[in-house]
Chains A and B, each alone.
Chain A
Amino acid sequence: GENVEQHPSTLSVQEGDSAVIKCTYSDSASNYFPWYKQELGKRPQLIIDIRSNVGEKKDQRIAVTLNKTAKHFSLHITETQPEDSAVYFCAASKGNDMRFGAGTRLTVKP
């Protein structure tokens, strides 16, 4: 089955700096890669996603890149703000089979 690895497990940045979270996946048939943000005690929420036929997608301060050959994808957050502090999960999906990474706890210091 699919195996998703996510790094780093914790990330601390200064407000205004950029943050990058990286994930690798094992199943080359995976074709959908969402990212979820989970604030403390709340539900995970989809923030951006990318499909395997696209290399990059951007939505305001967040962007996701996908390298199918290397089987890795990354989340980029620019101009970080304290409200970006949360746990971020990547996932890789093939049809109904979605596997999550272990999560990255991002702390943005004001």
Chain B
Amino acid sequence: DSGVTQTPKHLITATGQRVTLRCSPRSGDLSVYWYQQSLDQGLQFLIQYYNGEERAKGNILERFSAQQFPDLHSELNLSSLELGDSALYFCASSVEARGAGYGYTFGSGTRLTVV
């Protein structure tokens, strides 16, 4: 157990639907990052939050949105789902947003299948 909790582990839904993925960061970590990993692909950075505020945005589609709540858990909302959105979605957390880098701790991921 890495300390980063993602739910659900698996999600199957139909095209056009909306889903919410949830992430609880490791205790003490203020930053949460969301990544998308399609089959046999690398880690595509979507978005980062630090202590409730959006800090960085990557290749996140307009159909996707995220937020981080006061208790530091984060949710990634995916809407108007398409077949191509099928992927593993990872959440990662780290200690700080600025200064020298720190390693990320990844959650176990949510496998989304759009049918």
**What residues of chain B have their CB less than 8 Å away from a CB belonging to chain A?**
2, 31, 33, 42-43, 45, 48, 50, 55-56, 90, 94, 96-109
Residues of B within 8 A of A89 (CB): 42-43
Contact A95 B97 (CB under 8 A): yes
Q: How far is the CB of A98 from chain B (nearest CB, A)?
A: 6
Among B42, B97, B109, point to the contact of A96 (Cβ < 8 A). B97
Are A44 and B100 CB-contacts (below 8 A) given A96-B31, A96-B50, A97-B56?
no
Among A31, A43, A45, point to the contact of B100 (Cβ < 8 A). A31
Residues of B within 8 A of A31 (CB): 100-101
Contact A32 B42 (CB under 8 A): no
A93 within 8 A of B: yes
Residues of B within 8 A of A54 (CB): none
Contact B100 A96 (CB under 8 A): no
Query: DSSP class of A's interface residues: helix, strand, loop or mixed?
Result: strand
Task: Pull 21 A–B residue pairs with CB atoms less than 8 Å apart, ordered by A.
Answer: A31-B100, A31-B101, A32-B101, A32-B102, A43-B107, A45-B2, A45-B106, A46-B103, A46-B104, A46-B105, A89-B42, A94-B101, A95-B101, A96-B31, A96-B48, A96-B55, A96-B56, A96-B94, A96-B96, A100-B42, A100-B43
**What residues of chain A have their CB less than 8 Å away from a CB belonging to chain B?**
31-32, 34, 36, 42-46, 49, 51, 89, 93-103
Contact A93 B101 (CB under 8 A): yes
Contact B43 A44 (CB under 8 A): yes
Are A49 and B103 CB-contacts (below 8 A) given A42-B108, A95-B97?
yes
Contact A32 B100 (CB under 8 A): yes
Residues of A within 8 A of B2 (CB): 43, 45
Contact B106 A44 (CB under 8 A): yes
Residues of B within 8 A of A103 (CB): 42-43
Residues of B within 8 A of A95 (CB): 97-101
CA distance A46 to B2 in the complex (A): 11
